Chains A and B, each alone.
Chain A
Amino acid sequence: AQTVTQSQPEMSVQEAETVTLSCTYDTSENNYYLFWYKQPPSRQMILVIRQEAYKQQNATENRFSVNFQKAAKSFSLKISDSQLGDTAMYFCAFMKDGGGGADGLTFGKGTHLIIQP
């Protein structure tokens, strides 16, 4: 079974600063996918970024980028030039490559990120 750990229950930064959210995971799988989802107060789960474990290059999406360290089983999210709208819960999630069967996501407990004006 997989586990995902987010060690920062809450973080607070000033607008325009850069912030990094940490995530570590434990798995015996070699092929898998990692995700960051954002959940603002509206409750909607929004995909922020996705990383395939077989890719060495770190994924980026505009102001969002990850630092994927496969050997260390670490998958941190960096948000540059943070904006008030980035205030949300951020969930790190793991999905194994099931090779045919549909698998659910294994989530961490989340980090509540607050962007201060």
Chain B
Amino acid sequence: DTAVSQTPKYLVTQMGNDKSIKCEQNLGHDTMYWYKQDSKKFLKIMFSYNNKELIINETVPNRFSPKSPDKAHLNLHINSLELGDSAVYFCASSLSTSRDTQYFGPGTRLTVL
């Protein structure tokens, strides 16, 4: 019974390609997030969605676009992949707003060649 799941766990692709990472949570949470963990293990927020509405966007390039078909899913689409996009991407969710603990998915390691 995985609470927050991501697919795929590993993604290897060429520069210039377009790819998507899927995230699903079965916790009934209203808010979902995407974080990027770089090669030095530093984690940084990219997006959050609350009831299908984008709440924050932390100066992420517009090649990255979150899409939420419903409140249980928040997918990350990346266009024209660059070498610097190589990282681990984590999805997370929380019950509602900023008082609630965030629970993370297992991460997706993206490698751009």
Interface residues of A (CB under 8 A from B): 33, 35, 37, 39, 42-47, 50, 89, 91, 95-107, 109-110
Contact = CB atoms under 8 A, between A and B. Distances in A.
Contacts of A37: 104
A91 B43 contact: yes
17 contacts: A35-B101, A43-B88, A43-B106, A43-B107, A43-B109, A44-B104, A50-B101, A95-B102, A98-B97, A99-B98, A101-B50, A102-B96, A102-B97, A103-B48, A104-B48, A105-B35, A106-B45
Interface in B41-64: 41-45, 48-50, 55-56, 58
Nearest to A104: B45
Interface centre among A45, A95, A96, A101 (most CB of B within 10 A): A45
A102 B55 contact: yes
A82 to B, nearest CB: 21
Q: Is the interface of B mostly helix, strand, loop or mixed?
A: strand
Nearest to B30: A102
B44 to A, nearest CB: 7
Contacts of B102: 95, 105
Contact of A107 (B43, B98, B109): B43
Contact of B42 (A43, A44, A103, A109): A109
A104 B48 CA distance: 7
Contacts of B55: 101-103
Given A43-B88, A89-B41, A109-B42, A104 B101 contact: no
Nearest to B88: A43
B45 A100 contact: no
B52 to A, nearest CB: 12
A44 B106 contact: yes
A98 B98 contact: yes
Given A47-B103, A104-B35, A110-B41, 7 more contacts: A33-B99, A50-B101, A102-B49, A102-B97, A103-B48, A103-B56, A104-B56
